[in-house]
A and B are shown apart, each in its own frame.
Chain A
């Protein structure tokens, strides 16, 4: 997505500057990965989530190689080589290799019926399994895991989410919001085992996975196990090409504020890139990067990427959840909270140095964009503070003084 978005931006700026060739490892034109969950839940079809169909590539004069994985970059000759021997020369190379799922270092990860959740193939695998099997275990109570679990439940499976953390989505939610989320999901029929570590995936008689075993000795039946325990930037190709990658975890191809790697002819955008020691796994930063990268590729040279504020929404029908920025707070930050347990609404705003730095919204996310804008603008919110929680609508009231009483 990040790569194609960059091309779209570039074509707007300088449609004729480059001859463009695109290699994709998957056999599909680029699609909106974010919408795989609605596809899994049966709410959308694959056709609906394709972003640029083949015709778009043709119209823009782009050479498209589908199902061809690039295996090597010859930086001296400026040629890329694909698995099948296809190659292409470049003046500029854009890496958008994305990320890959983290696999668990436990026995049974290779068993039939054990999937990750990353692409159309995974999605199709889950849809197929749901049609034939009853019990599913999703390992990982983060965004992806919960979306997968919800999709499988929608498809009639009996789903248990196993999560190592003490509460769901701990990277996006505080405990209070997480609790509401869990309650909503439980009402949808999902089951949860929190603070639980998986130690083994056990095969059944057919050789297919049949159960998941936990550290506490318990186990759960599962003919389908979806591992959604996180993602890692896909830097294999870049490392092989000798491009500087971040040494720590999760790693990532180190890029400058113009999204250039240490080889200035080579750019990297999206989940594979490590910018200022940060990697992003959400869509909005990718678009921010794409805009800057395209600008630079078009020789405009005026854009700089300085990092993104990120926001998350969970794509589970009937659950409104929004998380942005640093919602954890901590030293020097001040929390404002609101809850309406009757309607299942919880909101938290985190303020530091008189600026909104984080927000968690549950149950009513209508003001998510308003907060996200404030967050990105980094404006002082002192004058808005007391009304901030009540959103965009109340902002208009802010000018009027409180009446005497």
Chain B
């Protein structure tokens, strides 16, 4: 057994991991105690990374089809790449370079990004290269550039330890960036005077730690920040010296801010004026104020403004460029930063250069030794797929991302993919939502199989290292891009020598490094050897520097022409789609604790399903009651763009009039086009980031009286393969979802329809769950549509299907999950009773995924313990081990502990 140091490939915290490997297989993952992003900690997702590497669904060899109607067939790499090069060359010759596009990903490594960027701009001659970071961080980019002059997060993780006030805006860091949040918790524990303000329309797990939760109405952030500025000025908490010395444009902002009195802003935001004043005072009076923000600000038609308005507060108070102070955007993807640095977005150029700047274009052209970089702006993500739909773009190359899940207005996106002349998909998986649209599938090496670097939220560049050989014939992304580029070079230019003859990612890194020379992202002091020897480093790290730069702008000099930061006098604009009588609910999207993005990887790990076992839309209990709905009802959600069916769940943390649907649920787990069937393709005018966080919907109980739930452990133990088979049935039902069961290695299908399905459907589902054998318990009342089947494996419930009356589902699921002895109950297992047969207590919802501890045990333990919430929590942790591993469940545990104290 040996170990390899690498970096986690989920969120932008960028935790260091140690990969254990044995016999060419990855056997485990641990947090790297030396890595400054996490010091050994990992969240639940990171801890299970090794379980995402192999198994059913991986793309293992290139596939190609010449005819859309036919399935793809396995081909050699040469055949696949030659085909794609021929097609691209033909399209470029006939329709120009802007008839092709590259849609890449914040999950690519910096070297991959670089190769694609060079391919698009230097070889094809198009700026049609954009990253899914467009959906994630482009508003942060625009916000930084508009105020600080460059797309550089000025703060670092260590600032959390030095802050006197932390403003968390539009971020559920407790779930989205759990390891970072542990650090916030530690800081709060060490310094009880630390004030934490959370700005979020929802009362999230993050809000649980807040001293002040500002539950603003969606999209009113700019008004809030201007209102806070108004209050800061009123109470003389601004830093006139700093404004005078280091900024420009304050007068215009001050004039604007006068119109945002705390009272009027409070009304706009739906909060109390006192709360706003408190927030402003805490922020202004803090010795150092730090802002952490994420998609709540970015995914907005006013995303750039929200970012800028928040940065205004830091500039006005001088809370920047000092330990514990600064605006700090949290990146959602592991290498969104790397993409920004290498300019792999339509409106950016490499090394934080600007596409609009002729000098920048000329410099890049010179460095790449090409005549020019085209000035024509490239299409950003949403525009790109609109152009694809219109036919302006004919061929699209999608790498490491899943637009048929993640882009807004899915129905239009899928039309675009279906209309495209050529779709090339380069991915580690062959079963994403986008895969069915691919004419060519190129298998990519995944995490643990490839080499390169990533940059995390705090500008820290870490090495990603391979621990095992790539699966099947998969190749690293950079190499696929370069192999293709060399073929295209020959076809377009008849060139023999190549700009893409890289034989190792380190060569790419070295070339990229030279292009940062003299830029704010200068890393001329870094190479692989330096990273190997000195560990991860924060840029800039110029030649001769011993180490990177933890904090920017300490001297108050900003990367603008005059060295001054700019205030952004941007008026508040409401959300793009207001609610009205026809679409009265505000839909908010966001993350679940244990899933990531479209779940193509996290969804492969059974135990990550424990925390949120099935898709659900959360509504305020009062809204449910008012509409005569109950948790568990299947609702039809409808926006102006699409509709979907999903179960309702009650969450008092969701404000009345709002609905919360996790961003994760796509067609792989839910019938229909997923959450983004509803969302809005309206983008921010400067960042071009779509407003994924808000749209107007209506909802009603679905008239789908026929119900089915089937779950079971496959006899062959391959739950992922079975899940794929079950998934194929989702489109057959008006509502259906398929999931892994957290325990017992099972798969679950839930479906509802207006009427019982055609004969044969139920039989097929029975066969799918191996409920068609001679050893199956069966109950059938065809006239009532009630069919129940149960397969036992020895003493345990191995599989069950309940069609019609499903009242026994909860306890049957527990029997299955816990492997309880069930055989003795015999045919009573088929009884339609909501009450479990005697002797079985429900575990309740799983709170701690690491140790599989359910709510029932936790509440019991907390109730039995004595003392305050902390004492009870300690006792429960000692007894049950809950929350002692990754700690992601601690916010929920604290909430339960507080409830136990209140109940005592």
Contacts and interface: CB of A to CB of B under 8 A. Distances in A.
B21 interface: no
A342 B779 CA distance: 14
Contact of A342 (B777, B781, B807, B831): B777
A394 B786 CA distance: 17
Contacts of B832: 386-387, 390, 402
Contacts of B827: 338, 340, 343, 345, 347, 364, 390
Contact of A390 (B776, B778, B831, B835): B831
B831 A337 contact: no
Interface string A344-357: 01010001000000
Nearest to B788: A338
Contacts of B831: 387, 390, 394
B783 A397 contact: no
A364 B777 CA distance: 14
A335 interface: yes
A386 B835 CA distance: 15
Given A334-B781, A390-B828, A405-B807, A342 B775 contact: yes
A351 B783 CA distance: 10
A336 B826 contact: no
Task: Name, among A342, A343, A347, A403, the residue most crowded by chain B CB atoms within 10 Å (CB to CB).
Answer: A342
Interface in A351-405: 351, 364, 385-387, 389-390, 394, 397, 402-405
B777 A339 contact: yes
A386 B786 contact: yes
For chain B, what secondary structure do more than half of its interface residues adopt (helix, strand, loop), or is it mixed?
mixed
Contacts of A385: 781, 784
A285 to B, nearest CB: 30
B784 A386 contact: yes
A341 interface: yes
B782 A402 contact: no
Nearest to A401: B834
Nearest to A394: B831
Contact of A404 (B631, B776, B779): B631
B781 A397 contact: no
Interface in B759-814: 774-784, 786, 792, 805, 807, 809-810
A338 B779 contact: yes
A396 to B, nearest CB: 11
Nearest to A389: B779
B856 interface: no
B630 interface: yes
Contacts of A343: 826-827
B52 interface: no
A160 B899 CA distance: 72
B810 A405 contact: yes
Nearest to A338: B779
A397 B834 CA distance: 10
B439 to A, nearest CB: 45
Contacts of B631: 404
B204 to A, nearest CB: 26
A335 B775 contact: no
Contacts of A402: 807, 832-834
A338 B775 CA distance: 13
A403 B834 contact: yes
B777 A340 contact: yes
A316 B784 CA distance: 35
B17 to A, nearest CB: 39
Nearest to B787: A337
A246 B832 CA distance: 48
B780 A341 contact: no
Nearest to B791: A342
A389 B832 CA distance: 10
B273 interface: no
Contacts of A389: 779, 781, 830
Nearest to A349: B781
Interface string B255-289: 00000000000000000000000000000000000
Nearest to B805: A386
B460 to A, nearest CB: 47
Interface of B: 630-632, 774-784, 786, 792, 805, 807, 809-810, 823, 826-828, 830-835
26 contacts: A334-B784, A335-B782, A337-B780, A338-B778, A341-B774, A342-B777, A342-B792, A347-B827, A351-B783, A364-B827, A385-B781, A385-B784, A386-B781, A386-B784, A386-B786, A387-B833, A389-B779, A390-B828, A390-B831, A394-B833, A397-B835, A402-B834, A403-B807, A403-B835, A404-B631, A405-B807
- Report, nearest first, the 7 A-B pairs whose CB atoms are least far apart: A334-B783, A403-B834, A336-B781, A390-B831, A402-B807, A340-B827, A402-B834
Given A334-B783, A340-B777, A342-B792, 18 more contacts: A337-B778, A338-B827, A338-B830, A340-B826, A341-B775, A342-B775, A342-B823, A342-B826, A364-B827, A386-B832, A387-B832, A387-B833, A389-B779, A389-B781, A402-B834, A403-B834, A404-B630, A405-B809
Interface of A: 334-343, 345, 347, 351, 364, 385-387, 389-390, 394, 397, 402-405
